[in-house]
């Protein structure tokens, strides 16, 4: 049996779309990363964890990312495959002054099983 959805497409016509006031994305890193949840994916051992750590610290400091401006703010890095010691060692390698607006978490609930409430809190 085919598992495709059996309801009609939800569409919007051109006139309605042109008349609808829409807010542009709120970029944290100009033209690169908008506000919200992001998942960084790639092959093993290519530097994803290092990049995520550097981005979290850089945005928390409000420093440019590759010559793109950032909107300084609070960041949360869910480093769920790391230990606190590993994150601390890496943090010492990339900065001398990590701000208190960058937060790290090595354990959390699953999506749909409490993570959203933990992040809100």
pLDDT by residue (tens digit) across 40-96? 899 999 999 999 999 999 999 999 999 999 999 999 999 999 999 999 999 999 999
In the chain, the percentage of residues whose pLDDT exceeds 90 is: 88
- What's the whole-model pTM score? 0.79
Residue 60 in contact with residue 102, Cβ under 8 Å? yes
CA distances in angstroms from 16 to 6, 23, 78, listed in the order given:
25, 15, 39
Q: What's the confidence (pLDDT) of residue 4?
A: 66
Q: What's the confidence (pLDDT) of residue 37?
A: 81
Q: How far is residue 52's CA from residue 70's CA, in Å, rounded to a whole number? A: 15
CA distances in angstroms from 109 to 33, 47, 112, 116, 117, listed in the order given:
25, 25, 8, 8, 9
Q: What's the confidence (pLDDT) of residue 47?
A: 95
Q: What's the confidence (pLDDT) of residue 7?
A: 87
pLDDT category at 38 given cuts 50, 70, 90 is: confident
Mean pLDDT for 16-33 is 95
pLDDT category at 36 given cuts 50, 70, 90 is: confident
């Amino acid at each position: 049996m085919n598992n495709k959805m059996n309801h009609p497409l939800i569409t919007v016509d051109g006139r309605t779309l042109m008349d609808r006031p829409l807010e542009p994305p709120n970029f944290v890193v100009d033209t690169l990363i908008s506000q919200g949840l992001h998942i960084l994916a790639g092959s093993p051992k290519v530097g994803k964890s290092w990049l995520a750590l550097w981005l979290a610290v850089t945005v928390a400091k409000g420093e440019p990312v590759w010559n793109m401006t950032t909107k300084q703010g609070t960041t949360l890095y869910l480093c769920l495959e790391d230990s606190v010691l590993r994150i601390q060692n890496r943090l010492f390698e990339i900065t001398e002054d990590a701000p208190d607006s960058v937060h790290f978490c090595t354990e959390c609930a699953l999506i749909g099983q409490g993570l959203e409430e933990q992040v809100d809190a």
